[in-house]
Structure 1
Amino acid sequence: MASSLKNLSDFSHLQVKSAQGLKFAIVVSQWNAQVTGALLNGAIEGLTKHGAEEKDIKIIEVPGSYELTSGADIVLRNKDIDAVICLGCVIQGETRHFDFICDAVANGIANVSIKYNKPVIFGVLTTDNLEQALDRAGGKHGNKGKEAAITAIQMAHISKEN
């Protein structure tokens, strides 16, 4: 598996544009807080490292990953937001609940992006266990929150330029 070979949050091969002057919202799930808190920290770090000011980053906490779609929809009513980053973590359990939640969240995030014609970034971990989630929330495979921040910067520029 490719992810077992490297840190996925290495962006040294990319020329990431400045986030200065852009406005972001981060919608983050409170469920699996150990993981989502690390994702949130990674996203903030990724945005500020590339020039975003903390005053231009709005953070909205929602109960779980399923509510990320509603949170993104609510925050996009504010026309000043250039991109939304959705952060969550769904860990496989013993029932099919995992499948329904992951499918609903992925489709919901895509739909809200289309509804508002704004970038809404999928920063949701869908893992088999907590160890895999932690590996992707600042562990040996990088931080998906940071990756989502870079994606948000890139997509906000594409949206503004086209």
Structure 2
Amino acid sequence: MAASEYSLPRAEFDKPVKLLIVVAPFYRDIADQMIAGATAEIEASGGSYEIAEVPGALEIPTAIGIAERLSNFDGYVALGCVIRGETTHYDTVCNDSSRAITLLGLQGLCIGNGILTVENMAQAEARANPEKMNKGAGAAAAALHLVALTRKWGAPRKGVGFAPAAEEYKLAGDPKDTPTA
């Protein structure tokens, strides 16, 4: 009996979502197909996006880290393709880019990892093609679901106990605004 795959329903949002797609276009035709899948998924969720290109898969996590520190994106989509070659460079690029993306995610960033790690161009084409496996859309959907969870769990909460000093002043009004006799 063949296993069946399940996809979560599309994430829904009350407020707009803005994602950054970071793509390593080393294999331009593969990257373009993945971008097409990712952008279609983001648009279907009512979100917006920007695209940043970097030289290779190893630079994708660095660009995401920079964007997180200096920009205002809700989440990130990492897109690229690494095809096994004759050297161990493939293993380094696959492992290190994946590890760095995972570490950023553990810090709270919402990242959909769409870096393909394949044996040959035929596998890359099947995974990138929006009419076939559509891994670009899958990476965008993953980022969107993580943004939705972040918004759900990060909603404002009623505090318990004492309010911090800054909060007390906000609640009581600024002492400078209090009339003096």
Identity of aligned residues (%): 29
After TM superposition, the structure 1 = structure 2 runs for residues 83-162 of structure 1, keeping only pairs within 5 Å, are 83-115=75-107, 117-138=108-129, 141-162=132-153
**How far apart are 1:127 and its partner, in Å?**
0.3
Aligned CA distance change for structure 1 residues 139 and 50 (closer, same or farther; 3 Å): closer
> 5+ residue gaps in structure 2?
154-181
The structure 2 residue matched to 1:41, chosen from 26, 32, 36, is 36
**How far apart are 1:113 and its partner, in Å?**
2.4
The amino acid that maps onto 1:160 is R
After TM superposition, the structure 1 = structure 2 runs for residues 4-19 of structure 1, keeping only pairs within 5 Å, are 11=7, 14-18=8-12
The alignment of Structure 1 onto Structure 2 pairs a total of residues equal to: 151
Q: Write the deviation string for residues 64-107 of structure 1: whole angstroms up to 9, x where unpaired.
A: 11111111111111452111110010000111110011000001
The structure 1 residue matched to 2:69, chosen from 77, 82, 86, is 77
Aligned CA distance change for structure 1 residues 140 and 37 (closer, same or farther; 3 Å): closer
Instruction: Tell me whether 1:26 sits opposite 2:18 in the alignment.
Output: no
Greater relative contact order: 1 or 2 (C-alpha under 8 angstroms, separation 6 or more)? 1
TM-score, reference length from structure 2? 0.76
Q: Of the two, which has the highest radius of gyration?
A: 2
Q: Write the deviation string for residues 22-66 of structure 1: whole angstroms up to 9, x where unpaired.
A: 1111000021111111111110011101211xxx31111001111
**How far apart are 1:153 and its partner, in Å?**
1.1
TM-score, reference length from structure 1? 0.84
**How far apart are 1:121 and its partner, in Å?**
1.7
- Contact 1:118/1:159 (8 A) holds in 2: no
Aligned CA distance change for structure 1 residues 94 and 139 (closer, same or farther; 3 Å): farther
**How far apart are 1:110 and its partner, in Å?**
1.2
Provide the secondary structure at the position in 1 that maps to 2:58: helix
**How far apart are 1:140 and its partner, in Å?**
6.3
Whole-angstrom CA distance in 2 between matches of 1:113 and 1:79:
17
Whole-angstrom CA distance in 2 between matches of 1:38 and 1:161:
31
Bigger proportion of residues as strand: 1
